[in-house]
Chains A and B, each alone.
Chain A
Amino acid sequence: MKKSNSIWFNLDWITVLLYLILVFLGWINIYAAVYSDEHQSILDIGQKYGKQLIWIFAGIFLAIMVLTIDSRFFTTFAYHIYGITVLLLVAVLFLGKEVNGARAWFEFGSIALQPAELGKFATNLALAKCISQFEFKIQKMRSYLILVAIIALPAILIILQNDTGSALVFAVFVFVFFREGMNGMVLFWGFSAAALFILALLLDQFNLLIFLLAISLAAYGVLRQSTKEPFIGLGVLIGTFLAVWGINSLAGLGGTPLQLIVITTIFDALLLIFYGIFRHVAEVWRIILFFIFAVCISISVNYFYSNILESHQRDRIDQVLGIKNDKLGRGYNVNQSKIAIGSGGFIGKGFLKGTQTKYNFVPEQSTDFIFCTVGEEWGFVGATTVLGLFLILLIRLVAVAERQRSQFSRIYGYGVACILFFHIAINISMTIGLAPVIGIPLPFFSYGGSSLWAFTILLFIFLRLDASRTKNLR
């Protein structure tokens, strides 16, 4: 066998090293999180850190197994793996064990398996397979529908398990599509919608409408590359509003400020449309379209928020946006988590010296809130170091993805990076109150075999593909 063909020779050892460092750091922090003076040994398998060590060795074994599989296996059976995973996701709805209100686990004796974890790499494989087909052109509407279907199927099944957090992960594939040539406007509209969602919750309708008008004027100015026209528009708006307001008070119609501004907006929109038609200004349509889109989003946000979200989900969003501040109720976890991290200071309290985590003030501190232990015991320096390691891993994965000869491997690689990114960003953000608590683990850190193995398989399939990067896989 030629040396250059060896898997071990072609393996990206940098990524492997980063993986091992992160897993080791995770294990140390689990040890610190559940540490108690009475505990006998760091290897005690009665304790979480002892178990996690077993999961880690099993994970490394799984990684080696994955590396020994022929890379063509993944391209050939991508859809099959996806199909089986979807079946498992259906099955778990009926056969799974309910834990904390989520029916998401299969139990085999002492081992529990969460099919939602498998959903991530299975979907990633399916998407890679789909996009890398010769005839596939991502810009087509039909293509979008297919991709959305591939994502939506497992995501909806996971939502049905009552595990919304894990389902949200699937949204991150939009960045993979972007890399593969999706129209950038989709991302723009997506971000706009997200921003509007937040604004619609923070502002009342009157202020929201004024905000949207201001944004539209600014956008119009940018599109027309003119500073004069937005100001004329502003003058027209203010003039119309004063006129409407004057008529309202003189005639004693008793309209509310909101009604007045709605009337003003409709009147001026009609004015703008006539202006666009007579002066042949094409940008008018885009602004009108944007405005209608924005208004629709804002209206639907309120409906979605108060009718579709469950109360605990509403509360978590309210906590992050600062609408509610209930430190003893819904906000207890996040508040205690912030206290733990915040009290770590610049260099931290030292290994095993974190009082908040050691004395169990932070709930779920070895799973979803494991970052608290990092923040408390290792301080800003440690937290930044861990974050830095994750960022290096992500950038390395992008770099490795970019060196692939086959599009399949590249797409899969970006999928891995994006999935990890979503978990890291959301998990850490929720421990410091930047994101709502949606209960997803921190990759390689959080306690639990199922998620560790899922991330390991996800990552090492990519490393296996990368080891065959000179081949053209489809």
Chain B
Amino acid sequence: MDLYSKRKYLIIGLFSLVSLIIVIRLFYIQVIDSSYKISAASNVLRREINYPARGVIFDRNGKLLVYNQAAYDVLITPRELKSFDTLSFCHLVGVDKAELISEINKAKSYSRFKPSPIIKQLSSQMYAVLQEQLFKYPGFFIQARTLRQYPSKIAAHVLGYVGEVDQKIIDGNPYYENGDYIGRSGIERAYEDQLRGIKGISYKMVDVHQIVKGSFENGRLDTAAVIGKNLVSTLNADLQAYGERLLSGKVGSIVAIEPSTGEILVLASSPTFDPGLFVGRERSRNYAKLLSDPYKPMLNRAITSSYPPGSTFKLANALIGLQDGLLQSVRYSCAGKGSSPIKCTHNHETPLPLISAIRESCNSFFWQSFKSEINHYATPADGLDAFRKSLLEMGLGKKIGGDLFSETSGSVPSVAYYNKYYGAGGWNSLTIRSLSIGQGELLVTPLQLSNMVSLIANRGYYIAPHLVRGIQENNVALDTLHFEKHVFAAGAANYEMIVDGMEQVVEKGTGRTTAKLDSLTVCGKTGTIQNPHGEAHSAFVAFSPKINPKIAIAVYIENGVWGAKYAAPIASLIIEKYLKGKIAPNRQHFEDAMINSDLISTMNIEHGD
């Protein structure tokens, strides 16, 4: 019938061929190529982080040291921004226009689709106002966070601060990501893992305008935020505050320990600062200001500054001599050939036995005892080795290893050290004699000094000093922490000799005028440390009461003239306050004098050390 009817097959063939091509293409993009599924997920999924509240920190009596307050970050998604009244927005949140615009540009260059914070840590008052007005500003949203708050502005160095993570931290630990906060120092740093809790992550489905439409797979992949654990610190907040007050106007530090437990009651460093300065939007400005302060208020001198211990070291020296059986019955004179070249600084009866020598802080006695300790061994090198080993066992010149962050080790010079200067065999006890009275190359931290006193107070052991005694979850004690017990066995009777000497220091020796309490036996030792740069440093170590001691303390005041002038009254005031609750009227003037004294304004600032 018609010539071309076979062409219908060509046309049907064309229809089929095109359909086949489409089916092949569909098969490729739907079944073979999985990249579209990933793109679809990234289109529609938004990962939201729920920040848990950081654990709070209590003092040993349950007083709050750090807690949290809500704060709010303002974030933008640049793609959704519409033009808005910048001026009134700036007014709402209290930033200037140029700053706002630069933050928005930064956010845009980061990503047009992902939200970036442009204003951080808005106060709850500003948040309340902004929240009402937020509908006027499409593309803006608010994310809640918590900020650290400090009810009393104490213990800045101990508590440490929290700061935003940097790239190094992010690279080193997969938990952290951009915008997270981490403890940067102090307890915040040492107990970061307990305090931070665990971030919650939830996956939300968003539409093309980034508006949340619901949870993904009914929240199957979401994880709940776990609130941070609370810490019970060993600090006594009242005593800490008192210590900080006593230190005002001075450069120095106080470390007080409960000897039986190694719990640190006070750890104060002066000058100090308000820990609240590191919180909120003024943070970086305050940080820069503190950093440029010549007195270095951010330095925690109690654990990161090492000083020569001066005469307080004579206790350690004596302990080693007693352990070696050299000092139990000996008397050394501070005049004559044997005492040379270290003479005594003041007149006292001579020769003296150990207990009286401690009372009188007789330099000659301890030089001669040191000489006998070194010469007790075959060579000076062996002698020094043994001497140094004993000091390290006492926790001097090394990191004690409690829970303190950024503790320095100090140093006890080694044989190698002297060999380097004088050659092997080129030195003897005379060459290194300044060690005997705690001067020269010997450097210890105030923490180590107080720990040494703790060892004596315990008559033979110390527990690594620490700042946290317990961890709580939901206000239930989780576990008590255990810290290592270190023994330095020198014989009970020998310890009693030193204790007796220390008692006499306060009863009738160098500490009698400023450290003696009517109501309590205080056992102490003063130290006056030669300082080539200015006034001598003032040091005092003590514990009390003599039997069953409750507190061991070390106070170190830079340029404090002599041991009994500043360090001894401060230490005794803290002991009195702690054990008696108040200062006896006849000692009130010490308290006033300490609080009101000002060494800083007359001090030479030493740069670069």
The answer to whether A and B assemble together is: yes
Contacts from A to B (Cβ < 8 Å): 37, 175, 178-181, 336, 338-346, 355-356, 358-361, 375, 379-380, 383-384, 387-388, 390-391, 394-395, 398, 401-402, 414, 417-418, 421, 425, 428-429, 432, 434
Of B39-47, B69-77, B140-148, B572-580, which binds chain A?
B39-47
- Are A414 and B37 in touch, CB under 8 angstroms? no
Give bound CA distance, A429 to B213, whole Å: 31
Q: How far is the CB of B207 from chain A (nearest CB, A)?
A: 4
Q: Does chain A have a CB within 8 A of B487?
A: no
B1-34 Cβ-contact flags toward A at 8 Å (1 or 0) = 0011101101110111011011101110111010
Residues of A within 8 A of B205 (CB): 355, 359
Give bound CA distance, A104 to B157, whole Å: 76
Q: Given A343-B39, A359-B207, A432-B22 in contact, is the A338-B8 Cβ separation under 8 Å?
A: no
Q: Does chain A have a CB within 8 A of B83?
A: no
Give bound CA distance, A387 to B31, whole Å: 17
B79-119 Cβ-contact flags toward A at 8 Å (1 or 0) = 00000000000000000000000000000000000000000
- Are A343 and B37 in touch, CB under 8 angstroms? yes
Known A-B contacts: A342-B37, A345-B30, A380-B27. Give 9 more (CB < 8 A): A178-B11, A181-B3, A341-B36, A361-B44, A391-B16, A395-B15, A417-B15, A429-B22, A434-B21
Give bound CA distance, A380 to B22, whole Å: 11
- Are A359 and B208 in touch, CB under 8 angstroms? yes
Q: How far is the CB of A399 from chain B (nearest CB, A)?
A: 8
B383-420 Cβ-contact flags toward A at 8 Å (1 or 0) = 00000000000000000000000000000000000000
Residues of B within 8 A of A401 (CB): 8
- Are B7 and A178 in touch, CB under 8 angstroms? yes
Q: B29: nearest residue on chain A (CB-CB)?
A: A342
Cross-chain pairs A/B with CB under 8 angstroms, 29 sampled = A178-B10, A179-B8, A181-B3, A336-B43, A339-B36, A341-B36, A342-B35, A342-B36, A343-B39, A343-B41, A345-B30, A345-B37, A359-B44, A359-B205, A359-B207, A360-B209, A379-B30, A380-B27, A383-B26, A383-B30, A387-B22, A387-B23, A391-B15, A395-B12, A421-B15, A425-B18, A429-B25, A432-B22, A432-B25
B208-230 Cβ-contact flags toward A at 8 Å (1 or 0) = 11000110000000000000000
Give bound CA distance, A355 to B10, whole Å: 41
- Are B19 and A391 in touch, CB under 8 angstroms? yes
Give bound CA distance, A417 to B23, whole Å: 20
Residues of B within 8 A of A359 (CB): 43-44, 205-208, 213
- Are A402 and B5 in touch, CB under 8 angstroms? yes
Q: How far is the CB of B225 from chain A (nearest CB, A)?
A: 26
Residues of A within 8 A of B29 (CB): 338, 341-342, 432
Q: Given A345-B37, A380-B31 in contact, is the A375-B26 Cβ separation under 8 Å?
A: yes
Q: How far is the CB of A267 from chain B (nearest CB, A)?
A: 40
Give bound CA distance, A428 to B16, whole Å: 14
Residues of A within 8 A of B214 (CB): 37
- Are A361 and B30 in touch, CB under 8 angstroms? no
Q: How far is the CB of A448 from chain B (nearest CB, A)?
A: 22
Chain B residues numbered 253-293 whose CB sits less than 8 Å from any CB in chain A: none
- Are B30 and A375 in touch, CB under 8 angstroms? yes
B329-360 Cβ-contact flags toward A at 8 Å (1 or 0) = 00000000000000000000000000000000
- Are B12 and A387 in touch, CB under 8 angstroms? no
Give bound CA distance, A346 to B27, whole Å: 8
Give bound CA distance, A379 to B26, whole Å: 9
Residues of B within 8 A of A384 (CB): 23, 26
Give bound CA distance, A434 to B25, whole Å: 8
Residues of B within 8 A of A341 (CB): 26, 29-30, 36
Q: Given A181-B4, A402-B5, A428-B22 in contact, is the A360-B30 Cβ separation under 8 Å?
A: no
- Report whether over half of chain A's contact residues are helix, strand or loop; otherwise say mixed: helix
Q: How far is the CB of A103 from chain B (nearest CB, A)?
A: 29
Q: Given A384-B26, A432-B25 in contact, is the A343-B7 Cβ separation under 8 Å?
A: no
- Are B26 and A355 in touch, CB under 8 angstroms? no
- Are B4 and A179 in touch, CB under 8 angstroms? yes
Partner pick for B30 among A344, A394, A414, CB 8 A cutoff: A344
- Are A380 and B11 in touch, CB under 8 angstroms? no
Give bound CA distance, A346 to B26, whole Å: 10
Give bound CA distance, A156 to B608, whole Å: 86
Q: Given A346-B30, A383-B26, A383-B30 in contact, is the A361-B18 Cβ separation under 8 Å?
A: no
Give bound CA distance, A341 to B27, whole Å: 10
Q: How far is the CB of A263 from chain B (nearest CB, A)?
A: 40
Give bound CA distance, A47 to B43, whole Å: 25
- Are A338 and B36 in touch, CB under 8 angstroms? yes
- Are B36 and A380 in touch, CB under 8 angstroms? no
Q: Given A345-B30, A345-B31, A434-B25 in contact, is the A356-B12 Cβ separation under 8 Å?
A: no
Residues of B within 8 A of A432 (CB): 22, 25-26, 29
Q: Given A179-B4, A181-B4 in contact, is the A340-B40 Cβ separation under 8 Å?
A: yes
- Are B23 and A355 in touch, CB under 8 angstroms? no
Q: How far is the CB of B34 from chain A (nearest CB, A)?
A: 8
Q: How far is the CB of A260 from chain B (nearest CB, A)?
A: 39
Give bound CA distance, A401 to B11, whole Å: 12
Partner pick for A398 among B3, B8, B43, B208, CB 8 A cutoff: B8
Q: B211: nearest residue on chain A (CB-CB)?
A: A359
Give bound CA distance, A340 to B39, whole Å: 9
Q: Given A339-B39, A345-B30, A345-B37 in contact, is the A360-B15 Cβ separation under 8 Å?
A: no
Residues of B within 8 A of A343 (CB): 36-37, 39-41
Give bound CA distance, A346 to B36, whole Å: 13
Partner pick for A387 among B7, B19, B30, B207, CB 8 A cutoff: B19
Q: How far is the CB of B11 from chain A (nearest CB, A)?
A: 6
Give bound CA distance, A219 to B41, whole Å: 50
Give bound CA distance, A181 to B4, whole Å: 6
Q: A335: nearest residue on chain B (CB-CB)?
A: B39
Residues of A within 8 A of B208 (CB): 359-361
Interface centre among A179, A180, A342, A428, by most chain B C-beta atoms within 10 angstroms, is A342
6 smallest CB-CB distances across A and B, nearest first, come from A342-B36, A343-B40, A359-B207, A342-B29, A380-B30, A355-B44
Give bound CA distance, A387 to B30, whole Å: 15
Residues of B within 8 A of A434 (CB): 21-22, 25
Give bound CA distance, A32 to B31, whole Å: 22
Residues of B within 8 A of A355 (CB): 40, 43-44, 205
Q: How far is the CB of A37 from chain B (nearest CB, A)?
A: 8
- Are A398 and B11 in touch, CB under 8 angstroms? yes
Q: How far is the CB of B220 from chain A (nearest CB, A)?
A: 15
Q: B43: nearest residue on chain A (CB-CB)?
A: A361
Give bound CA distance, A144 to B31, whole Å: 46
Residues of B within 8 A of A336 (CB): 43
Residues of A within 8 A of B23 (CB): 384, 387
- Are A179 and B7 in touch, CB under 8 angstroms? yes
- Are A402 and B31 in touch, CB under 8 angstroms? no
Q: A356: nearest residue on chain B (CB-CB)?
A: B40
Residues of A within 8 A of B44 (CB): 355-356, 359, 361
- Are B40 and A339 in touch, CB under 8 angstroms? yes
Residues of A within 8 A of B26 (CB): 341, 375, 380, 383-384, 387, 432
Residues of B within 8 A of A37 (CB): 214
- Are A175 and B14 in touch, CB under 8 angstroms? yes
Q: How far is the CB of A431 from chain B (nearest CB, A)?
A: 10
Residues of A within 8 A of B10 (CB): 178
Q: B210: nearest residue on chain A (CB-CB)?
A: A359
Residues of A within 8 A of B36 (CB): 338-339, 341-343
Give bound CA distance, A338 to B40, whole Å: 10
Residues of A within 8 A of B27 (CB): 380
Interface centre among B27, B33, B40, B44, by most chain A C-beta atoms within 10 angstroms, is B40
Interface centre among B21, B30, B35, B37, by most chain A C-beta atoms within 10 angstroms, is B30
Residues of A within 8 A of B14 (CB): 175, 421
Give bound CA distance, A429 to B25, whole Å: 9
Q: B33: nearest residue on chain A (CB-CB)?
A: A342
Q: B16: nearest residue on chain A (CB-CB)?
A: A391
Q: How far is the CB of B338 from chain A (nearest CB, A)?
A: 91
Q: How far is the CB of A398 from chain B (nearest CB, A)?
A: 6
Give bound CA distance, A134 to B40, whole Å: 58
